Amino acid sequence: MAGIIEQERYTCAIGALQSVVAIPKAVPILHSGPGCGNMIMGFFERSTGYAGGNTSPCTNFSENEVIFGGVERLRQIIKNTYKVLDTELQVVLTGCTAGIVGDDVESLVDEFRDEGKPIVSVETPGFKCSNFEAHSLVVNAIIDQYVSLHEEGRPYRSSKNTVVLLSSVPYQDPFWKGNLAEYKRLLAGMGLDAAVLFGPGSGGVDEWKRIPEANFVVLVSPWYGEPIASHLEEKYGQPSIQFPHIPIGANETERFLRTVLEFAEKQGAKIDRIAAERFIRRERDAYYEEIDNLATFLLEFRYGLPNHAHIFHDAGYVISLSKFLLHETGIVPREQFVVDGTPEQYHAALRDELASASDKREIPLYFEPDAGKAQDICRNLTHSGRGLIIGSGWDKELAKEKDYDFLSASVPSPYRLVLTSHYAGFTGGLRVIEDIYNTALASYR
Amino acid sequence: MAKVNLDLPEVQIRELRLGSITGFQGTAKELVSAARCGLRDKNRSFSQCLGCSTGNAACMVVLIRDAAVISHGPVGCSSCLHEFAFTYRVNAPLRDLEHPTQRKIYSTNLDEGDTVYGAGQKLADAIREVHERANPKAIFVLTTCAVGIIGDDVESVTDEAEAELGIPVAAIFCEGFRSKVWTTGFDAGYHAIARKIIKPPRQRRSDMINVINFWGGDIFTEWFEPFGAKPNFITPYATVDSLAYASEAVATIQACPTLGSYLAAALSQEFGVPEVETASPYGIQQTDRWFRKLGEILGKPDVAEDVIAAKKKEYIPQIEALKKKLSGKTAFVTAGAGHGHSLLSVLAELGVNARGAAIFHHDPLYDNGKEESDALAQRVRDYGDVPNINVCNKQEFELVNQLARTRPDFMLARHGGMTLWGAKLGIPSLLVGDEHFGMGYEGIVRYGERILETIENDEFVKNLAKHAINPYTKWWLAQEPYVFIEGGAEAWRAS
């Protein structure tokens, strides 16, 4: 049984409505209580996209729908959504009310689909799972109820150099847009054409239609999104290569690209190995030109820079930032806190992954979705030297208490705007460096 | 019949208690007179995400300095509450709070099994764990849709915990589906506070006036000083103790009657604290009335006259100057009830012609049952009618339609998300977050200056309008704004 949670770092299943918002010209239609959309909008902030937030249609369950069911109300809302909003994909998401009452949303949505509407339904009552998990439910529902209707002329796995890219959960990862664009650019450097399902670099619903012809799946994730990869394997026979965390900086980005290259060759993609290696070399050289130039500052800056860090984030960021800080900035990762509700069956593998960061030191790792409790652990730790906390807005207060530097890099955070900047890849690593040391330098005035 | 009944665990929802509605289209005058004969609410056949009681209840308890809040539900039902933690820190200096402490906000994190087997025990355990971890002076428990439907006995669980722990443990019944009027959440929060926190007065303090408000700037210390009194701000930034003895105040005033209606009435009926029942002080005439009413309750009518005279001497010339610059401009207002009505008065003082307003809901009368509290009626009486009053239930599609139709020189908004649509249409749009900003004679000056600044600096909205992304169909923007309101266009033309 799940325990209480203080200071939420993720939200409930219906939070996956943001995965719909992330698809250009798609609209989430909520069959839920009146407050669900607002709660999600407030959690992510500045995240309304094309038709999210106050624009999203919602049945706004009242006592009447709880008692008599809300299917007729939903039918009316869907019908009128087509009149009021200009959208290319509609995804109906259910909340707790509809879930408990037991409305048959699927049959209703089938009726609209039978009329040729691009509409999908998915059950996301808040008590079912977290938004990390519900993201997979939403993606799989769109594949089954929309993509599968547009398979004609797209033989499975026919496009050998096309890959489906699955990475972080849109909006839950504040850098999702920038990261996706960077993955796409990096994979293009390997000679691969990535179908990107979310964000401005995606072609909207047409991009989704490319899924069946893709040769394989690239999954960059510590655990979430796995059900999508296994679903695609089952449905289209697409194998997947999983990289366990966002690659940040030169070491991990190189490892990521080589892992993908090797897999792509095995899957029969046409790879120009020489061109790919040339691309990697150019990226690496450009990266180290900056590090080389910066090293004097990192080594000599005499007024004080952070020498150790605690991170509160999802498993992917905790592991990748720990590795990156240790090897590519010289900041030592101390106790780390995974606050994403990672299911227990993944803990051991993720511990091993973090352990691989160093053969001479152990980095203590806590899996604690109750982030308030995680903070209490951190509050009682002491390390010598200047400290850094990377986390959400909640952690700014902890950093102040501990007199640590603070970098906001996780939701929810009212303290930082992220537009299209990215932490993935070679240049993502440089961005992390800029953010950390600009934060430290801003303390001098 | 008394609206306040503290014997019951749950507050009666606004639809039933006050006859509040969420759909109407007509003029201000029509709404006021219709409201006197009883309004019938109208449903919409299209609706967008609205917001629910739980968030409003939360904002009235999360900012109490030494309390903890538990949302009893799935994790999503409290996921926007971090915003109040931010507010608490950022606005702390406005309330002379030097070291704002971390807000203590928890979720019982219900899962599927809990909805099948019930989650009463889970809540009971959570209350004890929170008590242990945060050592608060009071614990508030917010209910959610899931809990409301599965029927956990939250009242018994909180009562038992209260007896065991020796601090107030107050259940707030604010399930989203219960009420279409999201301000019912304020009432739910206040009901719990009135039942479990406020204590009978030990004395009557002539030097303390309750101010029911959000978290805006403190204008009242200066306002009350001539009366020999100080503001007791409730509920944000209050302590459990300062709330407990709100019962000893000489009077209660409120920033906005739709916010404080229930608590002011409860303080008056149950604890004998008189409420300043006249509508909030927006616009010159209403500010006159308000200070006079305050003077009357405090037994200091002369002081009130002195304050009015001194302030008018200072601000009337400034208002006149602003009026010259703004006269003839047109505006559209979107805001909650009460505050939106007040803004219409402020605009009238500045010579601005209000083309309409999208107001979230409408309360015919407040819990005190007094017509003099009705700010819309007062607006109509003092300055005349306003066309295009749309009780919009925060429905963005109706607002966009109306804005595109009325094309005012500027838009005034309160509550996030709405200015975007003004800006997308190239209409300079202003949102003032501080609820005290427009109060009093000086408030008219402050608003006037901000409006001038907004109109003057329109380069950004003009540029945005050129590149605006608009998900609304051409069809919709060509319709009358109320075609999805029950009865549709015909019903309104006939009326």
The half-sphere exposure of A31 on its side-chain side, counting CA atoms within 13 A, is 34
**Nearest residue of A to residue B107, measured between CA atoms:** A5
Could you give the CA distance from residue B277 to residue B282 in angstroms, rounded to a whole number? 14
Same domain, B215 and B295: yes
Q: Give the pLDDT score at B415.
A: 79
Tokens of B379: 């607006």
Q: Please report whether residue B188 resides in a domain.
A: no
Q: Please report whether residue B193 resides in a domain.
A: no
Could you give the CA distance from residue A268 to residue A191 in angstroms, rounded to a whole number? 13
Asked: is A295-442 a CATH 3.40.50.1980 domain? The reply is yes
> Per the CB < 8 Å rule, is A87 touching B471?
yes
Q: Which residues contact B208 (CB under 8 A, 6 or more apart)?
A: B229, B230, B232, B248, B249, B250
Q: Are B369 and B1 in contact (CB under 8 A)?
A: no
Q: Is B16 on the interface with A (CB under 8 A)?
A: no
Q: Which helix (H) or strand (E) is B220 found in, with range?
A: helix B220-224
Q: Is B482 on the interface with A (CB under 8 A)?
A: no
> Per the CB < 8 Å rule, is B53 touching A3?
no
Q: Name which of A34, A86, A87 is nearest B50 (Cβ-Cβ).
A: A34
- Reported as a single tens digit per residue, the pLDDT across B189-209 is 999 999 999 999 999 999 999
Per-residue pLDDT of chain A (445 residues; tens, 9 = 90+): 589 999 999 999 999 999 999 999 999 999 999 999 999 999 999 999 999 999 999 999 999 999 999 999 999 999 999 999 999 999 999 999 999 999 999 999 999 999 999 999 999 999 999 999 999 999 999 999 999 999 999 999 999 999 999 999 999 999 999 999 999 999 999 999 999 999 998 999 999 999 999 999 999 999 999 999 999 999 999 999 999 999 999 999 999 999 999 999 999 999 999 999 999 999 999 999 999 999 999 988 888 899 999 999 999 999 999 999 999 999 999 999 999 999 999 999 999 999 999 999 999 999 999 999 999 999 999 999 999 999 999 999 999 999 999 999 999 999 999 999 999 999 999 999 999 999 999 999 8
Among B20, B81, B82, B183, pick the best mutation site for testing chain A contact (most A Cβ within 10 A). Answer: B82
Of B75, B90, B82, B76, the residue nearest B59 (C-alpha): B82
CA B477 to chain CA mean position, Å: 30
Q: Are A313 and A407 in contact (CB under 8 A)?
A: no
A 386-415 residues with CB below 8 A of B?
Answer: 393-394, 397-398, 412, 414-415
Same domain, B395 and B248: yes
Dihedral sign, Cα of residue B411, residue B413, residue B419, residue B421: negative
> Per the CB < 8 Å rule, is A85 touching B108?
no
Q: Which residues of chain B make contact with A87, given a CB cutoff of 8 A? A: 471
> Per the CB < 8 Å rule, is A43 touching B82?
yes
pLDDT band at B492 (very low <50, low <70, confident <90, very high): very low
Q: Please report whether residue B191 resides in a domain.
A: no
Q: Is A285 on the interface with B (CB under 8 A)?
A: no
pLDDT band at B490 (very low <50, low <70, confident <90, very high): low
CATH number given to A159-280: 3.40.50.1980
> Per the CB < 8 Å rule, is A42 touching B110?
no
Q: Please report whether residue B15 resides in a domain.
A: no
Tokens of B276: 């300043």
Among B41, B79, B87, pick the best mutation site for testing chain A contact (most A Cβ within 10 A). Answer: B79
Tokens of A243: 């990289």
| Mean pLDDT for all residues in chain A | 97
Same domain, B435 and B460: yes
A 116-135 residues with CB below 8 A of B?
Answer: 125-128, 130-131
DSSP letters spanning B62-108: TTSTTEEEEEES-GGGGTTTHHHHHHHHHTGGGGT-SSPPPPEEEE-
DSSP letters spanning A141-176: HHHHHTGGGG-TT--TT-EEEEEEEE-SPBTTBTTH
Q: Name which of A5, A37, A40 is nearest B107 (Cβ-Cβ).
A: A5
Same domain, B259 and B148: no
Q: Is B49 on the interface with A (CB under 8 A)?
A: yes
Q: Name which of A30, A65, A397 is nearest B102 (Cβ-Cβ).
A: A397
Could you give the CA distance from residue A81 to residue A100 in angstroms, rounded to a whole number? 25
Q: Which helix (H) or strand (E) is A214 found in, with range?
A: strand A214-220
Q: Please report whether residue B409 resides in a domain.
A: yes
Q: Please report whether residue B417 resides in a domain.
A: yes
Q: Is A168 on the interface with B (CB under 8 A)?
A: no
Tokens of B34: 């219709």
B 391-410 residues with CB below 8 A of A?
Answer: 394, 396-397
Among A32, A94, A96, A389, pick the best mutation site for testing chain B contact (most B Cβ within 10 A). Answer: A96
Q: Name which of B78, B113, B145 is nearest A8 (Cβ-Cβ).
A: B78
- Three-class SS of residue B177? helix
Give rounded-to-5 percent helix, strand, coil for chain B.
50, 15, 35
Q: Which residues of chain A make contact with B52, given a CB cutoff of 8 A? A: 33-36, 38
Tokens of B26: 């007509």
Q: Name which of A77, A86, A101 is nearest B473 (Cβ-Cβ).
A: A86
Q: Name which of B49, B75, B180 is nearest A54 (Cβ-Cβ).
A: B49
- The C-alpha of A18 sits at a distance from chain B's nearest C-alpha, in angstroms, of 13
Long-range pairs for A271-280: beta carbons < 8 A, 24 or more residues apart: A271/A190, A271/A191, A272/A191, A275/A191, A276/A189, A276/A190, A276/A191, A279/A189, A279/A190, A280/A189, A280/A254
Q: Are B170 and B183 in contact (CB under 8 A)?
A: no
Q: Name which of A56, A130, A394 is nearest B75 (Cβ-Cβ).
A: A130
Q: Give the pLDDT score at B493.
A: 46
ipTM over 0.95: yes
Whether the per-residue pLDDT at B491 is higher than 70: the answer is: no
Among B109, B152, B184, pick the best mutation site for testing chain A contact (most A Cβ within 10 A). Answer: B109
CA B127 to chain CA mean position, Å: 29
User: Across the strands, what pairs with A39?
Assistant: none
Same domain, B206 and B167: no
> Per the CB < 8 Å rule, is A63 touching B177?
yes
**Residue recorded with tokens 């303080």:** B267
Which residue type does B463 have? N
Same domain, B388 and B334: yes
Same domain, B223 and B105: no
Beta strands, E only, B185-344? 205-212, 230-234, 249-254, 330-335
Q: Please report whether residue B102 resides in a domain.
A: yes
Q: Give the pLDDT score at B122.
A: 97
In this structure, which topology does domain A13-150 adopt according to CATH?
A: Rossmann fold (3.40.50)
CA distances (Å), origin A353, targets A276, A315, A359: 26, 10, 12
- Three-class SS of residue B139? strand
Q: Which residues of chain A make contact with B80, given a CB cutoff of 8 A? A: 38-43
Size of interface A-B (CB pairs under 8 A): 237
Q: Give the pLDDT score at B41.
A: 86
B 146-205 residues with CB below 8 A of A?
Answer: 146, 149-150, 175-180, 182
Whether the per-residue pLDDT at B495 is higher than 70: the answer is: no
> Per the CB < 8 Å rule, is B82 touching A5?
no
Q: Which residues contact B131 (CB under 8 A, 6 or more apart)?
A: B68, B139, B161, B165, B167
Same domain, B94 and B240: no
Q: Are A25 and A87 in contact (CB under 8 A)?
A: yes
Domain spans in chain A, listed from the N-terminal domain onward? 13-150, 159-280, 295-442
Q: Give the pLDDT score at A21.
A: 98
Whether the per-residue pLDDT at B417 is higher than 90: the answer is: no
CATH of residue B321's domain is 3.40.50.12380
**pTM for this model (two decimals):** 0.97
The half-sphere exposure of A82 on its side-chain side, counting CA atoms within 13 A, is 12
Q: Which residues of chain B make contact with A101, given a CB cutoff of 8 A? A: 149
- Reported as a single tens digit per residue, the pLDDT across B19-38 is 999 999 999 999 999 998 87
Average pLDDT over residues B300-313: 98
Could you give the CA distance from residue A249 to residue A433 in angstroms, rounded to a whole number? 10
> Per the CB < 8 Å rule, is A397 touching B89?
yes
- Three-class SS of residue B416? coil
- Three-class SS of residue A27? strand
- Reported as a single tens digit per residue, the pLDDT across B428-447 is 999 998 999 999 999 999 99
Q: Which residues contact B80 (CB under 8 A, 6 or more apart)?
A: A38, A39, A40, A41, A42, A43, B55
Q: Are A260 and A241 in contact (CB under 8 A)?
A: yes
CB atoms within 10 A of CB B50: 25
Of A232, A187, A188, the residue nearest A211 (C-alpha): A232
**Residue recorded with tokens 């929309």:** A146
Tokens of A17: 């409505």
Q: Is B132 on the interface with A (CB under 8 A)?
A: no
B 302-341 residues with CB below 8 A of A?
Answer: none
Of A414, A407, A416, A409, the residue nearest A443 (C-alpha): A407
Q: Is residue B203 exposed (0-12), middle (13-18) or buried (19+ Cβ within 10 Å)?
A: exposed
Q: Is B47 on the interface with A (CB under 8 A)?
A: yes
Percent of chain B with pLDDT over 70: 98
Same domain, B382 and B264: yes
Same domain, B220 and B364: yes
Average pLDDT over residues B247-265: 95
Task: Provide the domain count of chain B.
Answer: 2
Q: Give the pLDDT score at B182.
A: 86
> Per the CB < 8 Å rule, is A42 touching B49?
no
Same domain, B352 and B490: yes
Same domain, B279 and B330: yes
**Nearest residue of B to residue A128, measured between CA atoms:** B112
Domain of B258, in residue numbers: 21-49+200-495
Q: Which residues of chain A make contact with B107, given a CB cutoff of 8 A? A: 4-6, 8
Which residue type does B150 have? I
Q: Which residues contact A359 (CB under 8 A, 6 or more apart)?
A: none
Q: Which residues of chain A make contact with B415, given a CB cutoff of 8 A? A: none
Q: Please report whether residue B363 resides in a domain.
A: yes
Tokens of B147: 């809990």
- Reported as a single tens digit per residue, the pLDDT across B472-489 is 999 999 999 989 998 765
